[in-house]
A and B are shown apart, each in its own frame.
Chain A
């Protein structure tokens, strides 16, 4: 039976997380590679197979938006982990802390003094025209002046080996349950490697999350609720998982009711007051009396209860103004403005179609650029120029001309690759990295992440809705 063998492995000119070149493995992967090579390829396939089974039996499934209701998918977990050296991680961790502090100062400024606009660091129209800017939040002071307590930032490593921020997720970042459950599965797949490699643990995330949520209220023994859109939401597994791990109630909008500006949940014994809501529902569906009058979802009166300080919403409504993809382009300048520091992780060069110079450049070079919707997420509504047809490009040209504010463009980055098991052979596949940050009294960057992997050969789109999978991310001690 042939053993696992990397001698035919192709790096193909990309940055490979495991190999400097085919004969030269990076130090963080040395031990892992040796252990892997002691396994037969068949054994590796069997391990992968039992991982797939484990995911099904754990019910780690989600519904895809464009599919018919009831179609369940798993986010395939590739068993070859993405390993991050301790040194790389410590740099990233500092950079993420810097970024989240600056972003929160920015959000707070936008809804209060707007100094950053008066000082013309970022164009006023650009910020105030963001779909995620909520004028209802003007003057708001959330607990500890933090607006985005729970965030997940998408990082990538480019061909030059440097990390870049691809985008910020300050509203309802998902995927943390996969970080946690992937780890549980891989601990069963490769128990001996965990012992030898000193992988930093991630399991206390839920504990920190609860701690952080409790710290946001003065109520003793607060009632905490995870608010979910319901079982047909693609991230429902995660909502249920986090509620369960924290010992919180998992509620839907219809379970809550507001009386005299306090929020209650409907229980079998009457109404019970709710103190903190970790909401996994978008801003516009929180409260139909304020944000979306036609919506049947949400709880009327919730936002007013929040403004009065009778309930805490996490993350704060309106926080999305800072993860607008056009605002993103200004973040290095915002870090400088608020903290007087240079950004520790760079941005990717971004062209803002709302600005005429940039827009002209984008329209002329669309076949070379990645075009994204400025309020989009999930890999929907984007164009990857070099991989697109002329027809698709022409469609985007029209879209951009009709609504330039809604689009930004970036050069195509060749994301780094990690060896991945594909039909019984090991091939490089492109990955990104989403670490999770909790921001309450202090900032916690959990030493782990969701590594998303584009399983389709050559693909650069890692989103779960577009054929992406995941990998466990091992952050080493050193």
Chain B
């Protein structure tokens, strides 16, 4: 498929995943804010921290307030990663690859676009309870995943989309895990209190992991929760699971089964192997925050390698013989 189209497919899926994650973060954090400390800074600053856009927030707003954070992450056209922008970008990407996707996919993305556009116009962040907005976006994205899954052939385009989605998902799970680090920085005295427990629960809910975690481990402990989100082999949002699935898609594209044939396979394979043999106790010993930070850097290198191997066309200037695929 055209390199530009593959690149666009990859990003359309990344943006959708980002939007869905943001919607979930907002929903969960709003819930949490209802039953815990009234301090807006403690409550909402970590959310901005985990998105990586704290410097931008600081440059735009004087202080941390619930409504401002909801606007910044959910709607702000000035924030390139806001939910609103992610949906707009996903739709622009979908438009550019319209022939690769189905009418149903396109129409659902369009629906979401008009929904968030209306949300911006109607100033949903000012509502007393903006959860319905975020819940609708979340469900809209999930419906889209379903439509994609049942209507798109498992061709290269699908697999590039999956890789984009899974890299974004792994990144977001790692960032959510890191939120604890940022919360602890502001409230070290809270460790082990009921407040602490409800935060761990919220953290699991942010990545839709609460029920599956409960089923597997029952009790909420930092070690087990971290292990679940980083290393679980079967939970679909764990960082390790995302890498397993991303690698499957990469191999479906290259047709290669062992070792590597390009830098994308090499980087992804290495990172996956690292997690495959990781021990949560070692991770805690070295520092969870440091580990997560390192993971994000390596994941970014994988993304760059995918770009260089398939999208940039610097390595691909040779005519293919006997094509017509």
Q: Is B208 an interface residue (CB 8 A)?
A: no
**Measured between C-beta atoms, what is the minimum distance from A63 to chain B in Å?**
11
Complex interface bits, A54-84 against B, C-beta within 8 A gives 1, otherwise 0: 0011110000000000000000000000000
Check if B99 is an interface residue, CB within 8 A of chain A. Answer: yes
Given contacts A57-B111, A255-B3, A265-B2, A272 and B320 within 8 Å (CB-CB): yes
Interface residues of A in 309-329 (CB under 8 A from B): none
Please tell me if A50 contacts chain B, counting CB pairs below 8 Å: no
- Which listed residue, B95, B106, B310, B319, touches A268 by the CB 8 Å rule? B310
Query: Is B96 within 8 A of A268, CB to CB?
Result: no
**Interface pair B98/A269, CB less than 8 Å apart:** no
A387 to B311, CA, bound (A): 54
A residues 239-283 in Cβ contact with B at 8 Å: 240-241, 243-244, 247-252, 254-255, 257, 259, 262, 264-273
Which residues of chain B are near A135, meaning CB under 8 Å? none
Q: Within 8 Å of chain A (Cβ to Cβ): is B48? A: no
Instruction: Specify the chain A residue showing the minimal Cβ separation from B309.
Output: A268
| A221 CB within 8 Å of chain B | yes
Q: Using Cβ atoms and an 8 Å threshold, which residues of chain A touch B111?
A: 57
- Expressed in whole angstroms, the Cα–Cα distance for A336 and B125 within the complex equals 70
B316 touches A271 (CB 8 A): yes
Interface residues of B in 3-21 (CB under 8 A from A): 3-6
Decide if A273 touches B323 in the complex (CB within 8 Å). Answer: yes
Tell whether B114 is near chain A: CB-to-CB under 8 Å.
Answer: yes
**In the assembled complex, how far is the CB of residue A431 from the closest CB belonging to chain B, in whole angstroms?**
29
A259 to B310, CA, bound (A): 20
B18 to chain A, nearest CB (A): 21
CB distance from B72 to the nearest CB of A (A): 22
Is the CB of B156 closer than 8 A to any CB of chain A? yes
Contacts of A251 in B (CB 8 A): 2
Interface string of B113-157 (1 = CB under 8 A from A): 010000000000000000000000000000000000000000010
Would A271 and B95 count as touching, CB distance under 8 A?
no
- Does A289 belong to the interface (CB within 8 Å)? no
By a CB distance below 8 angstroms, the chain A residues around B310 are 268
CB <8 Å contact, A268 and B156: yes
Closest to A230 in B: B96
Cβ contact within 8 Å between A252 and B4: yes
List, in ascending order, chain A residues with CB within 8 A of B5's CB.
Answer: 249-250
CB neighbours of A254 from chain B (8 A): 4
Check if A57 sits within 8 Å of B107, measured CB to CB. Answer: yes
CB contacts between A and B, total, < 8 Å: 89
Please tell me if the beta carbons of A271 and B318 are within 8 angstroms of each other in the complex.
yes
Min CB–CB distance B91 → chain A (angstroms): 8
CB of A31 within 8 Å of the partner chain: no
Contacting residues, chain A, for B4 (C-beta < 8 A): 252, 254-255, 266
The answer on a CB contact under 8 Å between A244 and B99 is yes
B258 contact set on A, CB distance < 8 A: none
Is residue B273 within 8 Å, beta carbon to beta carbon, of the partner chain? no
> Is residue B63 contacting chain A, with contact meaning CB distance below 8 A?
no
Whether A268 touches B316, Cβ cut-off 8 Å, given contacts A59-B106, A223-B324, is yes
In whole angstroms, how far apart are the Cα atoms of A237 and B318 in the complex?
32
Which residues from B are CB-within-8-Å of A223? 323-324
> With a CB–CB cut-off of 8 A, which chain B residues contact A236?
95
Interface size counted on chain B using CB atoms at 8 A: 31
Within 8 Å of chain A (Cβ to Cβ): is B313? yes
Check if B189 is an interface residue, CB within 8 A of chain A: no
Expressed in whole angstroms, the minimum distance between the Cβ of B146 and any Cβ of chain A is 18
Most buried by A among B2, B3, B311, B313: B2
Q: Is B34 an interface residue (CB 8 A)?
A: no
Interface residue B92 (Cβ < 8 Å from any Cβ of A): yes
Nearest-neighbour CB distance to chain B for A274, whole angstroms, equals 11
Q: Report the nearest B residue to A220, measured CB to CB.
A: B324
Q: Known contacts A231-B95, A249-B99: does B318 contact A270 (CB below 8 Å)?
A: yes
A236–B313 alpha-carbon span in the complex (Å) = 25
Task: Report yes or no: B311 in contact with A268, Cβ–Cβ below 8 A.
Answer: yes
Q: What are the interface flags for B289-325 relative to A under an 8 Å C-beta threshold, 1 for contact and 0 otherwise?
A: 0000000000000000000001101001111100110
* A257 nearest in chain B by CB position: B317
Q: A243 to chain B: which residues have CB within 8 Å?
A: 98-99
- Asked if B60 CB lies within 8 Å of chain A CBs, one says no
Q: Does chain A have a CB within 8 A of B37?
A: no
Give the residue name and chain of the A residue nearest to B101 (CB).
Answer: A244
Q: Which residues of A contact B97 (CB under 8 A)?
A: 250
Closest to A242 in B: B99
Say whether B191 faces chain A, with CB atoms less than 8 Å apart: no
For the complex formed, measure the closest distance between the CB of A330 and the CB atoms of chain B, giving whole angstroms.
40
In angstroms, how far is the closest chain A Cβ from the Cβ of B310? 4
A266 touching B320, Cβ below 8 Å: no
* A contact residues around B92 at 8 Å (CB): 231
Q: Which residues of A contact B316 (CB under 8 A)?
A: 266-271
**B253 interface residue per 8 A CB criterion:** yes
Q: Complex: how many Å from CA A247 to CA B324?
A: 13
In the complex, what distance in Å separates the CA atom of A355 from the CA atom of B323?
55
Do A266 and B2 have beta carbons less than 8 Å apart? yes
Q: Is the CB of A59 within 8 A of B95?
A: yes
A-B contact pairs, 26 of them (CB 8 A): A57-B107, A57-B110, A58-B103, A221-B324, A223-B324, A231-B95, A243-B99, A244-B98, A248-B99, A250-B99, A254-B4, A255-B2, A259-B319, A265-B2, A266-B2, A267-B1, A267-B3, A267-B6, A267-B316, A267-B320, A268-B160, A268-B311, A270-B318, A271-B317, A272-B320, A272-B323
Task: State the B residues within 8 Å of A (CB).
Answer: 1-6, 92, 95-99, 103, 106-107, 110-111, 114, 156, 160, 253, 310-311, 313, 316-320, 323-324
Q: A259-B319, A268-B253 are in contact. List 8 more A-B contacts (CB 8 A).
A: A57-B107, A57-B111, A223-B323, A244-B99, A252-B4, A267-B316, A268-B1, A271-B317
| Nearest 9 Cβ contacts at the A-B interface | A240-B98, A244-B99, A243-B99, A268-B310, A271-B319, A270-B320, A266-B313, A268-B6, A270-B316
